[in-house]
Amino acid sequence: MSDRVGFIGVGRMGAPMVRRLLAHGYEVCIRDVSEAAVAPFRGQPGVTICGSPREVAGQVPVVLLSLPLPKTLLDVVLGPDGVAAAGPGRCVIDTSTSGARASRAVGAELGAKGLQFLDAPVSGGVPGAEKGTLSVMVAGDPALYDRHKGLLSIIGKNVFYVGAEPGQGQAMKLVNNMLSATALAATSEVMAVATKAGIAPDVALDILNVSSGRNSATQDKFPKDVITGTFSYGFLVDLMLKDVKLFEELADEMRVPTLVSPAVINAWRVAVAQGYGPKDFTAIAEMFERWAGVEIRARRREG
Ligand code: NAD
């Protein structure tokens, strides 16, 4: 008999993670509030579709989560029909970016109710979730980590143990995303200026990528999604603003002053105010394009 796990939140990241678990022989009990998210799994061998987090947890020893917001995590785990309501003895693994505070609260509450918790946010985007090459940053009891490392290796190529306290995985993930958000916003700004100065955008990128300005946006997001005009990396502006605000909350909580992050957070705030919230996060480049009156698209000169 194959192993069974639960998975709650089968959106952009959750769905490919579930497909990998199925491909590795797991049976998966899934739950999502969106019918559109659940629909591709209907009738698939190995999949059970459940009506609540409690129903999922009632059928499996381990429940993975990929949810959009900290308050969704609290509701799904601790709400009246939540995972914890299924009773003690199960393990919850949160792969979402939920923030350190919510993660600590959920870890403590689950512990008090006799359930276990691993804080395990991921990085690498939808392509990484599809290929199983995500980075996973795990915090929680080390013995629990050892027990579930194999399961996490199915979704992530690089599984790191960050520390014993839930929330530390989140802290690491927020540090990463603050830097990633900085790279994307700053690259959008400078590429708009380069294009306005009459430099072909693809040539500018080639130069940056062998020079000191290279970063994750010049090497990955711009060539794939901005230069091509596809803007479909798979992560929303709204969620990026959530992450950078959670970073600021963490720094504030620890009384660490920040200078650069507030400017970057404001860039993402402005993007949301200008209607980009439900768009792909690479579309922040479009905002800078509009201000500059240019398009950052390939137009290398032939010959
Ligand atoms: P998404 O919105 O595509 O997926 C979230 C899913 O959760 C949706 O299908 C939604 O219907 C479902 N959901 C919402 N409320 C629910 C509830 N109460 N019960 C059950 N399901 C519920 O978002 P995503 O891009 O897949 O991101 C998920 C998490 O992973 C977020 O925390 C995000 O910050 C993080 N993350 C995303 C990426 C990325 O590139 N997309 C990368 C790393 C981490």
d(CA 140, CA 161): 9
**DSSP-derived secondary structure letter, 221:** I
In the residue annotation, 173 being an active-site residue is answered as yes
pLDDT per position as a tens digit, 82-123: 999 999 999 999 999 999 999 999 999 999 999 999 999 999
Mean pLDDT for the stretch of residues 256-273:
98
Q: Is 68 in the pocket of ligand 1 (CB under 6 A)?
A: yes
Three-state DSSP state, 159 = strand
**pLDDT over 70 for what percent of the chain?**
98
- Rounded distance from Cα 95 to ligand 1 centre (Å): 10
77 to each of 37, 53, 66, 251, 299, how far by Cα in Å? 20, 7, 12, 26, 50
pLDDT per position as a tens digit, 34-53: 999 999 999 999 999 999 99
| Pocket mutation for ligand 1, best pick of 7, 29, 31, 33 (most atoms within 8 Å of C-beta) | 33
- Rounded distance from Cα 96 to ligand 1 centre (Å): 7
pLDDT, position 26: 98
Q: Is 202 in the pocket of ligand 1 (CB under 6 A)?
A: no
- Rounded distance from Cα 211 to ligand 1 centre (Å): 35
Q: Is 173 in the pocket of ligand 1 (CB under 6 A)?
A: no
128 to each of 150, 155, 158, 303, how far by Cα in Å? 17, 8, 11, 36
CB 281 within 8 A of CB 222: no
Q: Is 221 in the pocket of ligand 1 (CB under 6 A)?
A: no
Kindly name the residue from 71, 131, 157, 173 that is annotated as catalytic. 173
pLDDT per position as a tens digit, 162-195: 999 999 999 999 999 999 999 999 999 999 999 9
